């Protein structure tokens, strides 16, 4: 007998019929002799509906009250799923995030998990109960309800798997696994049988929505095997673990993309040792995530700094910089929206020089200009015009032979 943590996303529990299907999947796992802890998201688009209600009242609603509001979505799901399991003859108990002992930092809207008190869950497991936990939420040290950000149910599931020393964590979704790129947009996308933690972490950070980046970090740090699999089809998914066998010796194993990118350029910064640290420290205090960063020195012995952010953060970013212009002493700020990020990822890139050059050749052949570049050992990211994003993805997917993976893999 082992312990399995299962996570089901909003699409998988979108209505009563799908909740009944999820209950059957849980019962199947219980029938294999395993204890089961289940983490669920809010039903379908209910979170978006709650956000819409809040926006009708306030253009900038209180983050604390938004957490209070949004966590009700998962509470609906856990109670209905627990009822479905009990009705089928399987004892179950539902827990909110704070009832499950999930303690977070005191940040509303995007909190990180600090600790999990598993005593209550372990007691319920010893009694043979299936535990159904609301994903995406926890409680601060001050007793306030907090949320982990969109996609945070993945993080909840893997964090619980780590805290409970589970044998495995299964992430059920509306796709059958991790694909070489998003199959909704690229028809030749292929499912991968296995992906390393590092590759998945890069893909998640770079726009692949199948897993939350923090979830992958937890899995890697605590060596929790993950499987991304379909909640509808009874087929094998994609295993995410430390070491994986390369499929067909592919150097690049995935192409990720993300739209709604803005480039911010700060012109005429003094050449000082503290200027950059001040800028990024202040942006971090405002919970603004900065991605690609490029710095260049001018002939006038000043520095120009460019970095990419999400469109939604542009107004806040400009305000932070303008409020501190007297301290930073720069000349002006320029912004460019209508951009997207396209990235290639693969652990095989470490030992295969020339991959970046090939990527740039492919983009140039498609008349796709590269505005920013960022690299690591296993990825190359470029910022391109958003209108050419899918063209770039399709060209790179073909150039690196990702469509050559057998469909049944």
Q: What are the Cα distances from residue 61, in Å, to 52, 147, 362?
A: 11, 15, 45
Q: What is the DSSP letter of 350?
A: G
Q: Which two tokens stand for residue 259?
A: 């739209």
Q: Contact 266/305 with Cβ under 8 angstroms? A: yes
DSSP string of 145-191, one letter each residue: EEE--TTHHHHHHHHHHHHTT-SEEEEEESSSS-BSS-TTT-TT--B
**Cα–Cα dist 16/13, whole Å:** 7
pLDDT, one tens digit per residue, over 230-275 is 998 989 999 999 877 655 568 999 999 999 999 999 999 998 767 8
Q: Contact 10/46 with Cβ under 8 angstroms? A: yes
**Cα–Cα dist 180/267, whole Å:** 38
pLDDT, one tens digit per residue, over 131-162 is 999 999 999 999 999 999 877 999 999 999 99
Q: What's the pLDDT at 247?
A: 59
Q: What's the pLDDT at 317?
A: 96
Domains plus CATH for the chain? 3-174 (3.40.1160.10), 255-404 (3.30.2130.10)
pLDDT, one tens digit per residue, over 335-368 is 999 999 999 999 889 888 899 999 999 999 999 9
Q: What's the pLDDT at 139?
A: 97
**Cα–Cα dist 307/389, whole Å:** 19
Q: Average pLDDT of each block of 10 consecutive residues along the chain (409 residues)? A: 94 96 97 97 93 95 96 97 98 97 95 96 97 97 93 93 96 92 93 93 87 90 94 92 72 95 95 84 92 86 93 96 92 96 93 92 97 94 97 97 77
**Cα–Cα dist 303/89, whole Å:** 68
Q: What's the pLDDT at 188?
A: 93
Please state the pTM of the whole predicted model.
0.84
**Cα–Cα dist 356/382, whole Å:** 10
Q: What's the pLDDT at 408?
A: 56
């Amino acid at each position: 007998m082992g312990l399995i943590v299962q996570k089901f996303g909003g699409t998988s529990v979108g209505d009563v019929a799908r909740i009944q299907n999820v209950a059957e999947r849980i019962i199947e796992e219980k029938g294999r002799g395993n204890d089961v802890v289940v983490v669920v998201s809010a039903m379908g688009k209910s979170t978006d509906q709650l956000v819409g209600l809040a926006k009708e009242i306030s253009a900038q609603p209180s983050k604390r009250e938004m957490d209070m509001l949004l966590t009700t979505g998962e509470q609906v799901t856990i109670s209905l799923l627990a009822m479905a399991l009990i009705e089928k003859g399987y004892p179950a108990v539902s827990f909110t995030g704070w009832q499950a002992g999930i303690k977070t930092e005191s940040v509303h809207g995007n909190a990180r998990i600090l600790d999990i008190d598993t005593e209550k869950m372990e007691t319920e497991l010893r009694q043979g109960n299936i535990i159904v936990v609301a994903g995406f939420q926890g409680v601060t040290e001050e007793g306030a309800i907090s949320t982990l950000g969109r996609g945070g149910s993945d993080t909840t599931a893997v964090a619980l798997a780590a805290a409970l020393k589970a044998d495995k964590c299964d992430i059920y979704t509306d796709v059958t696994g991790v694909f070489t790129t998003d199959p909704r947009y690229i028809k030749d996308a292929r499912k991968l049988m296995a992906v390393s933690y590092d590759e998945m972490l890069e893909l998640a950070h770079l726009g692949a929505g199948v897993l939350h980046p923090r979830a992958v970090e937890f899995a890697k740090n605590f060596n929790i095997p993950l499987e991304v699999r379909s909640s509808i089809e009874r087929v094998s998914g994609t295993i995410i673990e430390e070491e994986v066998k390369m499929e067909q010796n592919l150097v690049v194993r995935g192409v990720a993309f993300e739209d709604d990118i803005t480039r911010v350029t700060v012109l005429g910064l003094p050449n000082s040792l503290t200027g950059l640290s001040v800028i990024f420290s202040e942006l971090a205090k405002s919970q603004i995530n900065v991605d690609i960063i490029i710095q260049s020195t001018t002939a006038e012995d000043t520095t120009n700094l460019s970095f990419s952010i999400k469109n939604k953060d542009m107004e806040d970013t400009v305000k932070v910089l303008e409020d501190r212009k007297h301290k930073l002493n720069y000349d002006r700020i320029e912004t460019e929206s209508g951009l997207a990020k396209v990235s290639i990822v693969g652990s095989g890139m470490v030992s295969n020089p020339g991959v970046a050059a090939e990527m740039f050749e492919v983009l140039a052949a498609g008349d796709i200009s590269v505005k920013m570049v960022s690299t690591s050992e296993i990825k190359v990211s470029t910022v391109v015009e958003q209108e050419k994003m899918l063209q770039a993805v399709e060209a790179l997917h073909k150039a690196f032979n990702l469509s050559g993976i057998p469909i049944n893999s």
